[in-house]
Amino acid sequence: MSRQIIVGNWKMNGTSRDSLALVQALVAGVPASAADVVVCPPFTQLALLTDTLKPSTIALGAQDCHKDSAGAHTGDISAPMLTDLGVSYVVLGHSERRQEHGELDETVREKTVAAIKAGLTPIVCIGETEDQRESGDHFDILGWQIKGSLPDGFAGILAYEPIWAIGTGRAATTEEIAETMTFLREELVRQFGEAGKNIKILYGGSVNDKNAASILSITDVAGALVGGASLKAEAFLSIISAASAA
């Protein structure tokens, strides 16, 4: 069985002092036999944390990238710029990017292509709203997001984050997650054939140190995309331990 992946998405949090202290605590606390661990700080902290992470097994991730490798795009960061800093992973299509910045599936797809071309592992996020789930349209929505956001020959990670569970403290039930994971696996196989069986799927949405073990034990859950709990070393290390035991 492959190791699970625990990804910490810090979002727009972290001064230099706080970020360095958090990473130092994680480096000291993560056992060698743990799950694969990725931290995704804001762009402003990537260069600072590179050297601190080098002696450890913790990988560095970013929270977004542009679809172009260079150009007149004020305020944007390209995938080659990220690899130049030692970044290995990049989160793409998070619902907060889709909602706050108007990113469409096509936008996410273009960024995913750019990330793969630059040698990054993309973590592509999909998820439904509460209204879409309650109306019974959630599987259709997720299927279309997969089709629109993942390019042919996708070589990366899919992250399922129900929008109604992000930052709310209300994680999906194990039954809801299991049912959705079964659908996502079937959909990946339908769209990508045999290769769809090997695409890893993470769960995200109010994952914490108390519910991590039950979530990570669900079939086809290959790890977690963790938000708020990844900003607290003790909680994040507890989630990593749960993944190692799963």
Catalytically active residues, by annotation: 94, 161
In sequence order, the 6+-apart residues with CB closer than 8 A to the CB of 181 are 160, 201, 203, 218, 219, 220, 221
User: Does 227 carry a binding-site annotation?
Assistant: yes
Q: Which DSSP string corresponds to 103-124?
A: --HHHHHHHHHHHHHTT-EEEE
Residue 72: strand, helix, or coil: coil
- Single out the residue of 57, 83, 79, 60 nearest to residue 70, CA to CA: 79
Q: Is 11 annotated as a binding residue?
A: yes
- 206 annotated as a binding-site residue: yes
Local structure of 6: helix, strand or coil: strand
Q: What share of the chain is helix, strand, coil (3-state, %, to 5)?
A: 45, 15, 35
For residue 13, say whether it is annotated as part of any ligand binding site.
Answer: no
Reference 127, options 93, 170, 153; nearest CA is 93
Q: Is 167 annotated as a binding residue?
A: yes
Specify binding-site residues for substrate: 9-11, 167, 206, 227-228
Specify binding-site residues: 9-11, 167, 206, 227-228
